[in-house]
Amino acid sequence: MQHKPPQSPETGHAVIADVAKIKEQTILQRILASQAFWVSVALALLVTYMSILQPSFGTVDNVANVTRNLAPFGIMALGMTVVIITGGIDLSVGSIMGLVAIVAGLFLTWEYPWYVAFLMGLLTGIACGAVNGFFVAYVGMPSFVVTLGMLSIARSLAVVLSGNQMLYKFGPDAPMVKAIGQAKWPVQTPGDWIPDWIPQFSSHFWVMVAMALALGYALNFKPWGRHLLAIGGNENAARLTGVPVDWIKFLAYVFSAFTAAVASLLLLGYNGSAINAMGQGYELRVIAATVIGGANLMGGAGTAFGAVIGAAFLEVIRNALLMAGIDSNWQGAFVGAFIILAVLLGMQSGGKSLIAATVERLFPKKHR
């Protein structure tokens, strides 16, 4: 091939593709570059492997179970993704779950209708999120500190309000609450038209799917999503170009707390009781799910699909370990290892993946 001069004759200056060696990405390349895609592949392999190894893993009942178990984490991971895109973190989601469950549980105990109880629960969650958002976005405090404080406050309030009792004597609407938490679709009855291989997905799962679709739509097609990413990428730039940075950051924390409230109410309905310890330690798993799904803790990257797939991945691992008969105390070690691995895979160092950069550092190429 003929040697190409650095200056192209038409433009009179170097053609970018020649100099910078970057090509416009095709859709396929973009998919291949996304962490969520590779986690999906790993998840598919894991599911296939487990289905072959453990006949009880691939059953419709277990699929319904796994999808129900992962849904609260998936729902909260959606909220966490939004916060993490802005470069923040929300440690208070687990405690907010506990407080929301107790508030809703109290209203049910006082024999209010279920929608009043649920509304009060949601408002409690939103209020917690608004406090977080106010201190982070408008006062300018680090999100780590504010939400750590909220973690303690919300849990403490939940214990105080509940009188450290389990709430289960719900009023006349108790069956309705249970029906919401335990609803399934499609319902399998013997001899109906629905093929038997379709699992009876729980309401939790469908709520997660609906919220993920809504968030995915907003992130991809609304200026709001664009602004969120810009804030995570360069907050100063976003502010100077007129993006309402404070308001959008505030909303991120409100949304995160809202997702925690939704997850809490679904679990409240499923259990038919409210305990103040609900959601204890969940923040770690939610953050793990979000990070595994490709959200960048430094801000500026994250997808709704990634949040759900990250939550699914963690739950399948957990379920697989249980089925393989491994002591459940090992789960923490696995979750932790996957967080480190996910961040390692997602990290970039000077335009290269961190792994490539590390290999180069350990085994430097000799000068030619």
Partner 1 sequence: MALLEVRNVSKNFGAIRALMDVSFAIGPGEVVGLMGDNGAGKSTMVKLIAGNFPPSDGEVLVNGEVCHFHKPIEARAKGIEVVYQDLAIADNLTAAQNVFLGREITKGVWPFRVLDKQAMIDRSAELFAELKSETRPRDLVRKMSGGQRQAVAIALISHRMPDVFAVCDRIIVLRRGTKVADKVTAMTSPEEITGLITGAILAA
Q: Residues in the site for partner 1, rule: CB under 8 A?
A: 11-13, 15-17, 19-20, 22, 24-25, 220-223, 226-227, 229-230, 232-234, 236-244, 300-301, 351
CB of 13 to partner 1, least distance (A): 7
Q: Are strands 184-185 and 348-349 parallel, antiparallel or unpaired?
A: unpaired
* Cβ distance to partner 1 smaller for residue 31 or 198: 31
DSSP state for residue 137 in the 8-state scheme: I
- For partner 1, the closer CB: 24 or 196: 24
Beta carbons of 264 and 278 less than 8 angstroms apart:
yes
Q: Is 22 left (phi over 0), alpha (psi -120 to 50) or beta?
A: beta
Q: Which is closer to partner 1, CB of 105 or CB of 299?
A: 299
- CB nearer to partner 1: pick between 181 and 232: 232
Q: Are 208 and 71 in contact (CB under 8 A)?
A: yes
CB of 303: closest distance to partner 1 in angstroms? 13
- Write down the residue that tokens 């003929």 correspond to: 2
Q: Which residue has the tokens 């940075």?
A: 245
Q: How far is the CB of 234 from partner 1 (least distance, A)?
A: 4
Which one, 219 or 314, has the nearer CB to partner 1? 219
Distance CA 102, CA 110 (A): 12
Closest distance to partner 1 from the beta carbon of 103 (Å): 30
CB nearer to partner 1: give 121 or 232: 232
For residue 212, give both structure tokens.
């993920």
When the beta carbons of 24 and 327 are compared against partner 1, the nearer one is 24
Min CB(138)–partner 1 separation in Å: 13
Report H helices in 134-281: 143-162, 174-182, 203-221, 223-233, 235-240, 245-271
**Rounded distance, CA 128 to CA 130, Å?**
5
Radius of gyration of the chain (CA): 23
Tell the smallest beta-carbon distance from residue 224 to partner 1 (Å): 10
Q: How far is the CB of 295 from partner 1 (least distance, A)?
A: 12
Distance (Å, whole) CA 33 – CA 20: 19
Under a CB-based contact definition with an 8 Å cutoff, are residues 165 and 107 in contact? no
Q: Which of 351, 320, 329, 368 is nearest to 56 (CA)?
A: 320
Least separation in angstroms between residue 355's CB and partner 1 is 18
C-beta of residue 262 within 8 angstroms of C-beta of residue 206: no
Question: Considering beta carbons, is residue 165 or 234 the nearer one to partner 1?
Answer: 234
